[in-house]
Every structure is written in structure tokens, then in C-alpha cells.
Chain A
Amino acid sequence: MNAQHTPPVAASATEHESFEHHVRRYLYVFYALIFGTIVTVLASYIPFGHRSINIGVALFIASSKAFLVAGYFMHLISERKMIYGILVFTAFFFVGLMFLTLFSFVDLPWHTVTH
């Protein structure tokens, strides 16, 4: 298939600069991701008493890192409504699958063998 024929436009210095600004932002995200990784690993060694706290901490950090990757590297933070819409529905159905399935396992009457 052919590309669209569009009139050539010269590159401008200002546009290069604004992109440098974006590049700087990517680097900050990179540092944040490395930092988050180290924190996750160290936090997993801290005995919080209940394992579920460790799980909560780890998932929180992971979600934050995911937000950074999705938001900045994948440009989601400035992306179009159409993409948001698709992802919102996807997230809803993923959560539905996970929780409804889990719910159906734990909603069993007492003394029923689950495994």
C-alpha cells in the first residue's frame, strides 16, 4: 500500500529541543523504574508480620512502575480517548475474570473439600 503524499516540511530547531525535553522525561522514568525495582526487592525481605502486607507492598510498587511504563514510555498519558476506552473495558473484564472466578472458589459452604 502506498504512503500518503504529504508536503515535506523542514525540521525546526525548536521541535528538536522539545523532543529533548521528552527524552529527559524518559530518563527520569528510567531512574524511577530502577529505583522501584531495588525498593521492591529490599521490601520483600522486611518481615511485616503478615505475608499479605508484603504482597500489598510489592503489588503497589509494581503498579506504580507499570503506570510509569504505560503512561510515559507507551505515551498513554497523552493518548486518545479511543485507546483509553478500549483499555478501560479490558481492565474491567480482566478484573471480572479474576475476582468472579476467585469468588466462586471461596464462596463454598464450610467443610467442602476444595482440593
Chain B
Amino acid sequence: MDIPYTVQPRADTGLYNAKLGIWLFLASEVMLFGALFSSYILLRVSAPEGYWPHGWLNIPIGTCNTIVLICSSITTVMAWASCKMNRFGRFKFWHACTILLALTFVCIKSYEYHDKFTHFEFTLKDGTYADGHILEDKADSLVIHGRRVADRKELFDLRAPGVKIVNSEITIPKDQIQKQERYGPWHHTYLAIYFTLTGLHALHVIGGAIVIGFLWGPLSKQWQTDPERFTNRIEVSGLFWHFVDLVWIFLFPVLYLL
């Protein structure tokens, strides 16, 4: 006896098995990212006044990434629609776009991560702070592109109205440096939750891209033997992809804008 409803929907539920399966899985993913968002809220609410960062992330780049993912969402739905309209060539085109857009997203994200990992905060022995990217590593001093502040709080709210950040080339003698720390996840809980949320999201982007890549490539020959089942697979993988876009729709304002 074969497993029923792999392609044809069951009458009383109106669903085929894989569609129910993917929605159940997405429900669990809602709880996963939901827990992380809840943690974000908690960490932010418990932070001391003035010490929660705003504006540490590059908004134009984030906006670009958001648009990249939105585009990949429309290409995904167009790929599925092409299958439904029996246009295999168009399907191949649209999903090739999806995969390329996914890779673009990951590349931009990597650039952002790199930018953070090369950004330093220096605690100086005279009680002031310096902050920026290292331009030159000389024998006894560092030349950074950044700024120097007296109050550490000034490093946090970069988006407050009226705040103007002026970065310049500053030389810091190495014997003045008490502590030097990259803007990695260990540096502040904001960065910790940022890297965790976007890292987990990026893993989902990569995973989704791999699955769509397989469906686009080696598994696409199922179109010849069982086109309906193949179309359902495109739909199911598309649902996952839209979910990944959905998460980013919330991630972007929460982490970048607020």
C-alpha cells in the first residue's frame, strides 16, 4: 500500500502531506525566532539607561539587503507560478534569480560581519575612549579612522536627533591603550543578539538556497516524470523561503532602525 495524499490533497483537510508538514515546521520556526525576539526585548529592556546602542549598523546596506530578499520572494513565487502554468523554462529562470539573490544577501551580510569584526573600541588609560577601524598598525601607535570621546555613552546612541558623528584619522600611542575590543558578539549583548539572530537567519538563507539549488539542478528532472509532485516541492520550498523573508522583515527594523 502506497502512502496516499503525497500529491493529491486529502478531501477533508484540502492539503497534501508535504504542505501540512512544511507549515508545521514553520510553526516551530516561529517559536524559535520568537524566543530570540523575546530575548532581544528582554535584553534591551534590562539595559541601563543610555547604554543600548542605536545606529551601530549601516542602514543603506541593510535596506539593500531587505530589497534583495523581497526580490527573491517575488522570484520564488514567480518560479512556482511558472510551474503551475507549465512553463519550465521560465521556472528555471526565476529560480536561478532566487539563488543569485540569496547569494547576494549572504555576501552583503558577510561584508557587514567583516565590518563589525574590524571595528574596535579602545579604552585608554586617561579615561577616554576611542572607536573606529584601524588604518595603519605602526610600531608604537595605531592610526584609526574613528573618533575619540570622553563619555562612553557617546558611543551608543548614534541616531539621537541632533547627533552628528564626525570620523577622522586619529593616532593612538599603543602605550595609551588599556583595553582593545572588537565589535564582536562578546562586546555587548546587542551585538550578541544581532550576530545570533542574523547568523541563524543567514543559516536558514543558505539552507534554503541549497534546497532550492538542488530542486533547480539535479532534482529538476522530476518535472519529466511527475510534474505535479515537482510543482508541489517548489511550492513547499517556496513557503520556507517566504518565511525566511518574513523573519528578515522583522529583523531589519528591529536591529537596524530602532
| Complex: A in contact with B (CB within 8 Å) | yes
Within 8 A of B (CB), among A22-45: 22-23, 26-27, 29-30, 33-34, 37-38, 40-41, 44
- Chain B residues closer than 8 Å to A58, beta-carbon distance: 253-254, 257-258
Complex Cα distance, B74 from A40, in Å, reads 20
Complex Cα distance, B45 from A62, in Å, reads 21
| One of B140-148, B164-172, B192-200, B238-246 contacting the partner | B238-246
Complex Cα distance, B253 from A55, in Å, reads 9
Q: Are A102 and B42 in contact (CB under 8 A)?
A: yes
- Chain A residues closer than 8 Å to B20, beta-carbon distance: 82-83
Given contacts A3-B7, A80-B15, A98-B41, contact A44 B258 (CB under 8 A): yes
- Chain A residues closer than 8 Å to B47, beta-carbon distance: 115
Interface size bracket, A side:
35 or more
Q: Are A26 and B8 in contact (CB under 8 A)?
A: no
Q: Are B85 and A80 in contact (CB under 8 A)?
A: no
Q: Are A98 and B34 in contact (CB under 8 A)?
A: yes
- Chain B residues closer than 8 Å to A97, beta-carbon distance: 31, 34-35, 38
Q: Are B228 and A3 in contact (CB under 8 A)?
A: yes
Given contacts A30-B70, A115-B46, contact A41 B257 (CB under 8 A): yes
- Chain B residues closer than 8 Å to A65, beta-carbon distance: 249
A72-90 vs B, CB cutoff 8 Å, 1 = contact: the mask equals 0110000010110011001
Complex Cα distance, B11 from A80, in Å, reads 11
B21-39 vs A, CB cutoff 8 Å, 1 = contact: the mask equals 0011001001100110110
Q: Are A90 and B27 in contact (CB under 8 A)?
A: yes
Q: Is B78 an interface residue (CB 8 A)?
A: yes
- Chain A residues closer than 8 Å to B45, beta-carbon distance: 102, 105-106
Instruction: List the A residue with the shortest CB-CB distance to B31.
Output: A94
Complex Cα distance, B129 from A112, in Å, reads 31
| One of B59-67, B120-128, B176-184 contacting the partner | B59-67
Given contacts A47-B161, A97-B35, A98-B34, contact A86 B24 (CB under 8 A): yes
What's the dominant secondary structure at chain A's contact region? Answer: helix
Q: Are B46 and A34 in contact (CB under 8 A)?
A: no
Min CB–CB distance A59 → chain B (angstroms): 7
Q: Are A80 and B77 in contact (CB under 8 A)?
A: no
Min CB–CB distance B207 → chain A (angstroms): 18
- Chain A residues closer than 8 Å to B70, beta-carbon distance: 30, 33-34, 37
Q: Are B13 and A62 in contact (CB under 8 A)?
A: no
Q: Are B27 and A73 in contact (CB under 8 A)?
A: no
Q: Are B2 and A2 in contact (CB under 8 A)?
A: yes
Q: Are A1 and B2 in contact (CB under 8 A)?
A: yes
Which residues of A come within 8 Å of B, CB atoms? 1-4, 6, 11, 16, 19, 22-23, 26-27, 29-30, 33-34, 37-38, 40-41, 44, 47, 51, 54-55, 58-59, 61-62, 65-66, 69-70, 73-74, 80, 82-83, 86-87, 90-91, 93-94, 97-98, 101-102, 105-106, 114-115
Known: A27-B74, A101-B38, A114-B46. 6 other contacts (CB 8 A): A55-B258, A58-B253, A69-B242, A80-B14, A86-B27, A94-B34
* 14 A-B interface contacts by CB (under 8 A): A4-B7, A16-B85, A19-B81, A27-B74, A33-B70, A38-B63, A44-B258, A69-B249, A70-B242, A73-B74, A73-B77, A73-B245, A80-B14, A94-B34
